[in-house]
Amino acid sequence: MVPALRTLYNERFTNGKYQAFLDSLAREAGEAPAFRVAETPVFVPAALTSKLVQACEEIVEVILQPDFKTLTQDAIPPALKVPGENDHPHFLIIDFAVCRQENGELAPQLIELQGFPSLFAFQELMARQYRTHFDIPPTVDNFFNGLDGDSYFSLLQELIIGNHDPREVVLLEVAPHQQKTRVDFYCTQKRLGIAPVCITELAQEGAQLYYRHEGQQTRIRRIYNRVIFDDLVKQHALPGAYPDLFQDLDVEWITHPNWYYRISKYMLPMVHSSFAPKSWYLHTLPVIPQDLEHYVLKPLFSYAGQGVIIDVTAADIDRLKDPENWILQHKVQYAPVIYTPSGPAHCEIRMMYIWADGSPRPLLVHNLARISKGQLIGVSNNNRDTWVGGSCCFFER
């Protein structure tokens, strides 16, 4: 999107450089990512960067409202509420489509947001390897707020591990070694020294949790949580029993599971911004719009794009038996702004925040990008094209 950088990058790109980049990713992470990594990063011009930051801060202001927990009390399905919720999430990720305004300028449009971690460790590795293998000038940066690789991981260590012994902190997931995001788990383990642990590896004594570390029964004092509890209750074939994580346990959650629901699609109708498409809870709509072709229908309690109806009809709405669990959102028109040797592509940009205990507001630290040439953005939907997949952004300083 920065024309001079895009042209130079495309001219100097070779498949040999790309393969060396992929090999370096796999070597340092311990294995190759289980998803496609794009041939290119995204170069974000300063004007768009400013709009992205503005959009994020407007969303943060919604979360900072004194009555935010009251406004989102119905966001958490009753069966999925976990005791011990803290004051705010430790992570915040906000996804935007890159679009064109009527005046031709680039602008973000909010797609989704979560109070949940993303690929915080792997994205640093990806950005660093792009710099190593391609011509990324010093005029652009993947970090925010003056951070670099060392200070970034210092913040993550303080947030995730704190004053605990790393052996007493685990990255918790359902079957972590089978997840598509496992490369991030391995990067996290290498950088912070915490092990990815399956919920079936947990043992419980009273309100305390344990796991075996190097053959020793080890107390868990803090959980870096990667479990999506909505998925957890759907698991029927896990090889082994596990503790009931919905009880009041003597453990710190980073971040607490309830925030995954409070900061989610449930929030979209609460965000009033020029960078957010209009959204409504379906059951509150007085009249169904006549121009449904300009809208998408999203289930509140389904994730990773599952269940989204892109080409909405009145019949789709009539069939719904639980309209209170759906939102109708004005359709976002992605712009084909990334020019690649195999055709133009569009992208989403994820802005990644951390929020330390005691801090008045979250801190923007890093980013993630997805590049696509199809109707669906997720990296799982772009395996047949080139110059698509997971990526990261470099923002003009």
pLDDT digits (tens, 9 = 90+) for 248-304: 999 999 999 999 999 999 999 999 999 999 999 999 998 889 999 999 999 988 766
Q: Are residues 102 and 211 in the same domain?
A: no
pLDDT surpassing 70 at residue 224: yes
State the pLDDT confidence band at 208, using cuts at 50, 70 and 90: very high
In a domain, 151, yes or no: no
Q: Per residue in 32-55, pLDDT tens?
A: 999 999 999 999 999 999 999 999
| Structure confidence by residue, pLDDT tens digits, 126-183 | 999 999 999 899 999 999 999 999 999 999 999 999 999 999 999 999 999 999 999 9
301 and 323 together in one domain: yes
125 found inside a domain: yes
Looking at the structure, tell me whether residues 320 and 346 fall in a common domain.
no
DSSP string, 254-317: ET-TTHHHHSSGGGGGG--STTS--EEEGGG-SS--S-GGGEEEEETT--TTTT-BSS--HHHH
Q: Please tell me the distance from the alpha carbon of residue 35 to that of residue 389, in angstroms, as a whole number.
A: 8
For residue 241, name the pLDDT band (cuts at 50, 70, 90). Answer: confident
Q: How far apart are CA 388 and CA 208, in angstroms?
A: 45
**Stretch among 75-84, 116-125, 300-309, 374-383 having the lowest mean pLDDT:** 374-383
Do residues 236 and 116 both lie within one domain? no
Domain-embedded: residue 37: yes
In a domain? residue 124: yes
Say if residue 139 is preceded by a cis peptide, omega within 30 of 0: no
Domain count, the chain: 3
Give the Cα separation of 163 and 160 in Å (integer).
9
The verdict on 272 and 395 lying in the same domain is yes
Output the CA torsion sign for 110, 114, 115, 117: negative
Average of pLDDT values for 202-214? 96
Alpha helices in the chain (DSSP H): 3-12, 15-29, 46-63, 68-71, 120-133, 149-160, 182-192, 229-232, 259-262, 314-319
Q: Which residues form the domain of 119?
A: 1-144+261-277+340-397
**Within-domain flag for 156:** no
User: Does residue 229 sit within a domain?
Assistant: yes
Quick one: average pLDDT of 314-321?
91
Q: Are residues 67 and 38 in the same domain?
A: yes
Which of 254, 269, 304 is where one domain is finished?
254
Same domain, 220 and 272: no
Confidence of residue 380 (pLDDT cuts 50, 70, 90): low
Q: Does residue 26 form part of some domain?
A: yes
CATH for 218: 3.40.50
Instruction: Give helix 149-160 / helix 182-192 axis angle, nearest 10°.
Output: 90
Residue 183 located in a structural domain: yes
Cα torsion 214, 215, 221, 222: sign: positive
pLDDT at residue 160, rounded to an integer: 98
Structural tokens at position 319 = 């069939």
* 33/170 Cα distance (integer angstroms): 21
Region 185-197 average pLDDT: 97
Whether pLDDT at 56 is above 80: yes
Is the predicted pLDDT of residue 382 greater than 60, yes or no? no
For the beta carbon of residue 362, count every other beta carbon within 10 angstroms. Answer: 22
200 and 283 fall within a common domain: no
Beta bridge partners of 345: 338
Q: Are residues 126 and 12 in the same domain?
A: yes
Secondary structure (H, E, C), 167-181: HHEEEEECCHHHCCC
> What average pLDDT does the structure give for the chain?
93
Pair (135, 169) in one structural domain: no
Verify that 132 and 249 share a domain, yes or no: no
Residue 209 has pLDDT above 90, yes or no: yes
pLDDT band at 306 (very low <50, low <70, confident <90, very high): confident
Question: Does residue 306 sit in the same domain as residue 273?
Answer: no
pLDDT tens profile 61-108 = 999 999 999 999 999 989 899 999 999 999 999 999 999 999 999 999
